Amino acid sequence: MSPRFQAPRGTFDILAQEWGQRARVYAVAAEIFDRAGYGRIETPAFEDTDLFARGVGQSTDIVQKEMFSFEDQGGRNLTLRPEGTAPIVRAYLEHGMQKLAQPVKLWHWGPYFRHERPQSGRFREFNQIGAEAIGSDSPLVDAELIILLDELFRGLALPGIRLRLGSLGSADSRVAYREELKAYLRGRQKELAPSVRERIDLNPMRAFDSDDPGTRQVMEEAPTMLERLGEDDAGHFNAVRAVLDRAGIAYQLDPTLVRGLDYYTRTVFEFESDRLGAQAALGGGGRYDGLVERLGGRATPACGWAAGIERIVLALDEEEGGNAIDVFVAASPDRRERAFALVRELRRAGLRAELDLADRSLKGQMKQADRLGARAAIVLDEERPAQLRDMASGEQRELDLARAVEELGA
Ligand code: AMP
């Protein structure tokens, strides 16, 4: 026998019985976005590698070690997208969306790829849903986006959700803070994990993300950006908070929230679930006021978030909704053609209808109806008139086929 294949490490199949939950997440999200005026956008699964190197940032884990990059037959350097914001900003510029009324509000859903160490809730191919509002620096935008993600989690009745909120200031005010933080870290570098020490110059703020106990201790006393916000940034942050407070959204201020992508400015946030263990982050985002310019456009403020579909499904922790059908049409051999036609008719009338496709005996077909969770069965047997059977009670009676749709309550 030939050897069999398995899905590559860190990837997974979404099985038929697992689709229902995802479809529900999609449907709830689509409605929330539609009501809020966000249009659906989709970009390709791969882009020029430089888009991410420049957009996400050379000093990030994503660009340094997690990208699936390859050269195509034409010698172009391409990368399977590790995140969705840089591609959407690319599309915003490519399609002249600066000329539309601002902000341009978009949402997206699709697969992303990162070469991470696989574990529960962390994969190499995973799916994200995201929202972006490009072209306004109003604090209402930050608040609206946070509220939309909160609504999604509420709409799905996700239990145990926490929101962490912080601000990274604008790029200018961060320059001075970064210098202060670097000096602080250098002063205590003996206590830091080697990986943090090596990146003091490149990316000092990522030290806040470290799990290393020594580093964590050092970071507890570190100066934070939140304490160093300039007047404008503090004003923006307070305005976002005021809108959230009025909307009744609870959050925890977190001065250590830095997030793993370089492009964030001002507001940053992350939603967590207490159902998820180590990989608790359900989704997060923030402002990225410098990204459009970094990718070749005019300075344009923007804000967005992304949430992991697999993490949402894990946090849902509910029974898979069965795919129970309305009616199974069982037939003896000479009534199979009639059964086939009847099933088409029932489906057209909006019923979930199935019939035997594996040459089972009538008894076998009734078992199959049971396995499928059919509410009712229609039995077409040459020896007697058509019967309608209630699968729960076992009650059976004669059925006028012309009235089948009506009788089944479609
Ligand atoms: P990020 O783009 O890193 O801010 O990620 C946004 C969200 O996507 C996270 O909060 C997770 O829910 C999800 N996510 C990120 N990386 C992975 C991964 N490797 N596997 C599964 N979900 C992920």
Q: What is the DSSP string of 122-135?
A: B-SEEEEEEEEEES
Contact 263, 56 (CB under 8 A): yes
Q: Is the CB of 86 under 6 A from ligand 1?
A: no
Q: Is the CB of 114 under 6 A from ligand 1?
A: yes
Q: Say what the pLDDT of residue 203 is.
A: 83
Per-residue pLDDT at 1 exceeds 90:
no
Per-residue pLDDT at 87 exceeds 90:
yes
Query: What integer is the mean pLDDT of 313-329?
Result: 82
In whole numbers, what is the pLDDT of the chain averaged over residues?
94
**12 membership: H or E segment, kind and range:** none
Domains located in the chain, CATH noted:
16-169+229-315 (3.30.930.10), 327-407 (3.40.50.800)
The token pair that represents 248 in the structure block? 């009744």
Atom of ligand 1 nearest to the CA of 271: 10
Q: In a 3-state reduction of DSSP, which class is residue 171?
A: helix
Residue with the nearest Cα to atom 14 of ligand 1? 308
Q: Say what the pLDDT of residue 175 is.
A: 86
To test the pocket of ligand 1, the residue of 119, 120, 126 to mutate (highest count of ligand atoms within 8 Å of its CB) is: 126
Residue 151 Cα to ligand 1 middle (Å): 19
Q: Is the CB of 306 under 6 A from ligand 1?
A: yes
To test the pocket of ligand 1, the residue of 122, 145, 271, 305 to mutate (highest count of ligand atoms within 8 Å of its CB) is: 122
Distance CA 168, CA 265 (A): 5
Per-residue pLDDT at 55 exceeds 70:
yes
pLDDT tens digit sequence for 261-297: 778 899 999 999 998 888 889 999 999 999 999 999 9
Atom of ligand 1 nearest to the CA of 282: 12
Q: In this predicted structure, which of 108-117, 203-212, 335-344, 361-370 has the lowest mean pLDDT? A: 203-212
Query: What integer is the mean pLDDT of 298-303?
Result: 98
Distance CA 152, CA 312 (A): 10
pLDDT tens digit sequence for 134-144: 999 999 999 99
Burial of 402 (0-12, 13-18, 19+ CB in 10 A): exposed
Residue with the nearest Cα to atom 13 of ligand 1? 308
Tell how strand 104-113 and strand 125-134 pair up. Answer: antiparallel
Per-residue pLDDT at 322 exceeds 80:
no
Q: Is the CB of 126 under 6 A from ligand 1?
A: yes
Distance CA 198, CA 186 (A): 11
Residue 62 Cα to ligand 1 middle (Å): 11
Query: Comparing C-alpha atoms, which of 166, 144, 141, 162 is closest to residue 153?
Result: 162
The token pair that represents 125 in the structure block? 């191919």
To test the pocket of ligand 1, the residue of 128, 258, 261 to mutate (highest count of ligand atoms within 8 Å of its CB) is: 128
Q: Say what the pLDDT of residue 319 is.
A: 64
Q: Say what the pLDDT of residue 130 is.
A: 98
Distance CA 273, CA 163 (A): 9
Q: In a 3-state reduction of DSSP, which class is residue 45?
A: coil
Residue with tokens 């608790």: 280
Q: Say what the pLDDT of residue 391 is.
A: 96
Query: What integer is the mean pLDDT of 170-190?
Result: 90
Query: Comparing C-alpha atoms, which of 150, 113, 84 is closest to residue 288?
Result: 84
Q: Is the CB of 286 under 6 A from ligand 1?
A: no
Q: Where are the beta strands (DSSP E) in 210-278?
A: 252-253, 265-273
Residue with the nearest Cα to atom 17 of ligand 1? 122
